[in-house]
Structure 1
Amino acid sequence: MTLDIQAALESLRSGEEPVRRRVVEELGRSGQPEAVAPLLVAVADESWPVRQAAAEALAAFPEEALLPRLEAALRNDEDAGMRNAAMEIYVKLGPRAGEALLQLLDDSDQEVRNFAAVMLGARRERRAVERLIAALADPDLNVRHAAAAGLGQIGDPRAVLPLVEVLRTEPWLQYPAIGALGEIGDPQAAPALLDLLGDELLRGPAMEALGRLAGREALPRLVPHLYDPDPLLRNMAIQAVVAIEQRATASGESLDPEVQAALRRQGLVDHLLAALADEEPSNRRTAAMSGRWSPC
């Protein structure tokens, strides 16, 4: 079967949905490596049935035939849709794709290194932890950012101390490093995050991360922020304190007296009552939990 790739691409870009789906099915049946490029175009189609058919067709290709063409699409600066589709497929493939992405972390093209770090994180590729830690020192800021975020997605505690070091030395990476530490959830990151509560720009993300990982030793630093004049930061502080107390009380400990007293202060009671009708579900849940601990 001879494929007319140009005709297939034209049909995928301008044909009606039934036509696009038929073209995808024909490309998949062909099994020819040349069909990969138009199928990647179809992965970004506006129609879910077309996207699904394209993804299924690509999944049927042997990885040794698919990976070189995915890499070519990744390097295609002129077609962002095809590049994004290639990234989506990379994430879904098996171990061989992970090995290929690890090699791309050493690529001379900074964009390719960036994409590789993003995909390794999305794959939660545990083999990549040490390589992504090394990429925290990449010359390119975007690669360093992707490495920090990817380490958070993977969630391996080996990344905690390197991320804490980044937090203290790399101002441009503080946001992704805070988020990654929160995702990993290792308590040894708590002291570094507590040090950020005095920073107005980083206080909110730091409180969110502390809510995920800190123990009660963080409460004396968090409780004062329950009265923050900014309602958004106040909600973040409440959520962090409640999350810490939930973990403690779930293990059989009694409610912290300082937290209980704070929840009874009138200004905070009024805020929690208003939060019960908040549009944000997490605020409603936190207010309801707080109310059970300290009935208004």
Structure 2
Amino acid sequence: MKTYDDPELQAIAVKLTSDDPGIRRVAVMDLVDSGEPEAVELVILALQDPDTNVRQEAAKVVDEFEATDMADALIAALSDSDEVVRNSAAHALADLKDPAAAEPLLEALESSSDSFVVSGILRALKPLRNAGAQRPALKRLGDASAQVRREAVGVLGWLKQPENLPALVEAAQHDADPDVRRAATGALVYASPQQVGQALVSLLKDDHWQVRCEAAISIGKLNHQAAAAALMDATKDELWQVREKAVDALGTLGVVEAIPVLGECSKDAMSNLRKAAIGALGTIAHNDGRPYVVTALDDPDPDVRKLARWAISKLDTAA
């Protein structure tokens, strides 16, 4: 056993060799308070402990240590037999956000076929924006696991490379899993309306409501003015959540032609939609919207009334 100069750390190291897993578990908790850089070595050791409870405790405390040296141990922990350990390791990897961790992550990604491990590694690679992740992420868009495909979309979205747009559009429009389609739809916002606007308009008709919501959000973020008519149609969607996001986007785009449509939404039975409509009318700040805003001053929902007062101030300022 390695010896440590710090007496407290040495005492913890001795506890980690105990035959009693309870003592070893307490030793892991003590590591958090040690404050010694070398404590990382003992956390890595605890991640390999034969007792599940000890490994769980180690996986829970790894967030307290900023050490790229831990990347290999966390990657190994993604294959642990215990779900708590696997999940904690995945979260800890995602939180590393150290560019130096990219190389071991990419090496592990190349050799792994376990969907949980692969998705965990991809999630950790996403914020690193490492160019080396592009090829394996594109490859994983064809993975049998929807979780893996979703994380691959995240990597490509964060890389923001134009050459990845066709693959992301394909995933947004045709992936079998709605969560993947939704993630890909959201990832398209780094492009221009000319590149992905048509695809986003088509996604307003997706079979899944969350994809339709994401399409409306992305259209607003991209300021895709040509999508105004499609957004106005989307304010008649069967689900109020989609209608709300379409209304928000129309406000963001400042579509004056949408004022009558927004006015109708301001009378909807769903208060969330009424709030969105009054907010959009205030953002557009065109006098044609004033009658709807004035009516909303007497709305039964106090939040709608508050927004109406704000919208009136915007209209008065713009006049």
Alpha-carbon distance in 1 for matches of 2:244, 2:146? 32
Q: Which amino acid aligns with 2:106?
A: L
Normalised by the length of structure 1, the TM-score is 0.72
| 1:219 equivalent in alignment to 2:218 | no
1:251 is matched with which residue?
A: none
Which of 75, 80, 88 aligns to 1:76? It is 80
Task: Give the percent of matched residue pairs that are identical in Structure 1 and Structure 2.
Answer: 22
Q: Does the residue aligned with 2:204 lie in a helix, a strand or coil? A: coil
2:140 is matched with which residue?
A: 135
1:258 is matched with which residue?
A: 257
Alpha-carbon distance in 1 for matches of 2:259, 2:232? 10
Distance 1:34 1:194, change over 3 A: same
Alpha-carbon distance in 2 for matches of 1:86, 1:288? 44
Q: Does the residue aligned with 2:111 lie in a helix, a strand or coil? A: coil
Residues 33-53 of structure 1, C-alpha deviations (whole Å, 9 max, x = no match): 3432437745665xxxxx5xx
Q: What is the deviation of 1:22?
A: 3.2
Unmatched tracts of structure 1, length 5 or more: 46-50, 246-255
Alpha-carbon distance in 2 for matches of 1:26, 1:289? 55
1:181 is matched with which residue?
A: 188
Q: Does the residue aligned with 1:77 lie in a helix, a strand or coil? A: coil
Q: Does the residue aligned with 1:137 lie in a helix, a strand or coil? A: coil
CA RMSD, Structure 1 to Structure 2 (Å)? 3.5
Alpha-carbon distance in 1 for matches of 2:36, 2:78? 21
1:35 is matched with which residue?
A: 43
Q: What is the deviation of 1:221?
A: 1.4
Alpha-carbon distance in 1 for matches of 2:192, 2:24? 47
Distance 1:133 1:24, change over 3 A: same
Distance 1:103 1:128, change over 3 A: same
Unmatched tracts of structure 2, length 5 or more: 4-9, 48-54, 294-319
Q: What is the deviation of 1:73?
A: 1.4
Structure showing greater radius of gyration is: 2
- Residues 139-150 of structure 1 aligned to structure 2 (within 5 Å): 139-150=144-155
Q: Does the residue aligned with 2:227 lie in a helix, a strand or coil? A: helix
Q: Does the residue aligned with 2:203 lie in a helix, a strand or coil? A: coil
Distance 1:291 1:276, change over 3 A: farther
Alpha-carbon distance in 2 for matches of 1:141, 1:11? 41
Q: What is the deviation of 1:97?
A: 0.7
Which of 158, 166, 181 aligns to 1:161? It is 166
Q: What is the deviation of 1:143?
A: 1.8
1:248 is matched with which residue?
A: none
Distance 1:152 1:286, change over 3 A: farther
Alpha-carbon distance in 2 for matches of 1:72, 1:158? 33
